[in-house]
Every structure is written in C-alpha cells, then in structure tokens.
Amino acid sequence: MKKLILPLMLSILCDQAFAQTDTAAAPHRQSLVLGVNAREGAFAKVLTEGDSTNKPSPVVITTQRKKITILTEPRNWTSTADSMADRLKDLRTERRNMFTYWSGIDVGVNTLLGSDNSTDLSGKAEFMTIDNAKSRFLSINFMEQKIEFGSHHVGLLTGLGWEFVNYRLKNNTLLTYNADSIYGIPVQEPDFRKNKLRQMGLRVPFMLEFNTKRAPMPTEEDLNAMRQDTTGTIARRFEHSRHHNFHLAMGVVGSWYFDTMYKQKYQLDGDTEKDRSKGDYLLLPYRAAAAVRIGYGGLNLFAEYSLTPLFKDGKGPELTPFTVGLTLIGFN
C-alpha cells in the first residue's frame, strides 16, 4: 500500500504545481509519468504535450463528498518509451486476431446419417430417427490461437470451445440400454412433447485457415512517421478491416463429452412431467470430425462430418453425426 500511496501523492502534487503555471502562453499540458520497466528500471518523467483543447471530454462521477474524473485517450502511435519491436509485435497480434475466425458462438442443426449416408433410417436404426429442425447444436468457442505461416494469409488454427449437441427423437420411443446394446421401445402413452439425447463437452480444432484480403504491416520507418503525422493519414494506411475478406478453414475438430443426459417431457393427468437420466446410453464419449468453415467479411458458415460413430463399437446402429450452422456472434 505504501508503494502505491507515494507515487499517487507525487502525481497529485505535480498536477497541482503544473496547474499554477502561466496559462497566457500557448496551451500545454504537463504530466508526471512514474513507472518501472526492464530497460530503465524505476523512472519518473515530466511530459509536455501540445494543444489539449481537442482532448475528449472526461467521465465525471459525483458522490456526496467527492468528484471523480476519468479521462480515456486512444493510444494511436508509439511514445518514446515504447520499443519498436514490441509495438510491431502488438500490431501483428492484433492483425492475427482479426483474421482468425474461430472464437464466437456457433449455432446449427444436427442430423444422423445411416450406413448409406442417408437420413432415412430404417430397420434396427429407425428408433433413432430425429427431428432435424429441433436437433440443435451450440458451441461457445472462447479461446483461439493461430500460428501464421509468414503472413496472415495462411496459418494453423487451434483453440478451445464448449459444445452442446442435442438429438431430438422424432418417434414416440423410449430409449433404454443394457451392457450389450441400446434400443428403443415404442410407447402409446404418454405422448412425448420432448424426447431427446444431449451431449456436452469440450472441443479443440486443428485447421488450416486462409484469408484473401491484403493487410500490410508498418515498418519502423512508418511508425516513426506516424508519431510526426498529426493528421492520421499514415496510420489509416495500416488500419485493418474484415470487410471484403474471403476466409476458409479446413481440418479436424476433436470433441470430448463429459456429460450425457436423456430427457422426456410429457403431460400426465393435466400436469407437465419431466424425466431425466444421466446414463451414458452407450454413446461414444469422444468424436473426431472433418470440419470446414467458410465466409465473407463477418459472415462465417461451418459444417462438421463425424469420422467416428455415434455409439460405441457394436453397441448400437451404425450412425454418423453431421452438423451445419453459422457463427451467430464473433468475439473478435
């Protein structure tokens, strides 16, 4: 606490001293900068800035006894205390994040394909016929990382997401299973209003991603010129945008499911009943899917075709999950 109080008092005293200087001259603003870094160690500097009449208005919070003023200013170019290498690294990271299309919220629909890659299931697989429109997919991709191959145009994408997969059964069938197999029992009563299997787990992509838009990086000479350019003309030459960028990613998404639930909802004697079961229902607890993500600008569509079956080997009908959807909200 003492380490914080001293710089704060010093800053307040300097601000008061600077406030008492002659204001008849050209308007300048002086401030005391305290800090610590590996190059200079602990330092204290007095900075003098130019005309401050166009500075943004502060946010003022008024309480019963105090008035708190918060002033936020954009940092558009490097200061003398910045390392050019660090600034270029930061700009390269900003560009990489902008042209990576994994993080966000994906929504889609699921279907199950039979041994002939048809959605028309028959025979022993008929009990797993699903309502595609109500078999929803949701993933929250909260982390991404890309290794660029020389530029932002090509890179290896990976990350982490949280996945929810629902299979809404179309027939009025009760799922049950034993140690050997899973099967469905047709029932007349009750009439299921909701009859679904749900899996929840984590997902990790390994994909090659391509971008078409040019997004040049400034050189050290450009950064030095930006510091002298008060019009912002040079900086605008290196502003990056997703507009008119065509992007494509292809690869594999691996999923690990740590939670499975079977749920039914129905009416009984005028009351709404909900039954839930937490058994694994012999579903394979992991999945590897061939995946493609394609889009233009901020639009992103995706499709995932499972390379692994829905059920454990020999425990159920041969079914392959297939998902299509779009990125509803991008985090970048």
Q: Please check whether residue 236 is in contact with residue 216, taking contact to mean a CB–CB distance below 8 angstroms.
A: no
**Where would I find the H helices in 52-154?**
84-98
Q: Please check whether residue 89 is in contact with residue 321, taking contact to mean a CB–CB distance below 8 angstroms.
A: no
Statement: residue 263 has pLDDT above 60: yes
Q: How confident is the model at residue 270 (pLDDT cuts 50, 70, 90)?
A: confident
Dump pLDDT digits (tens) for 19-77.
444 444 445 555 555 555 555 555 555 556 555 455 566 666 766 667 777 776 655 55
Residue boundaries of the structural domains of the chain: 1-13+25-75, 92-330
Give the chain's mean pLDDT.
84
pLDDT at 88: 86
Question: How many whole angstroms from its chain centre is CA 186?
Answer: 42
Percentage of residues in the chain having pLDDT higher than 90: 56
Tell me which residue of 325, 309, 276 sits closest to 135, measured CA to CA.
325
Statement: residue 18 has pLDDT above 50: no
Dump pLDDT digits (tens) for 168-193.
999 999 999 999 999 999 999 899 99
Q: Please check whether residue 71 is in contact with residue 55, taking contact to mean a CB–CB distance below 8 angstroms.
A: yes
Between residues 17 and 28, the one the model is more confident about: 28
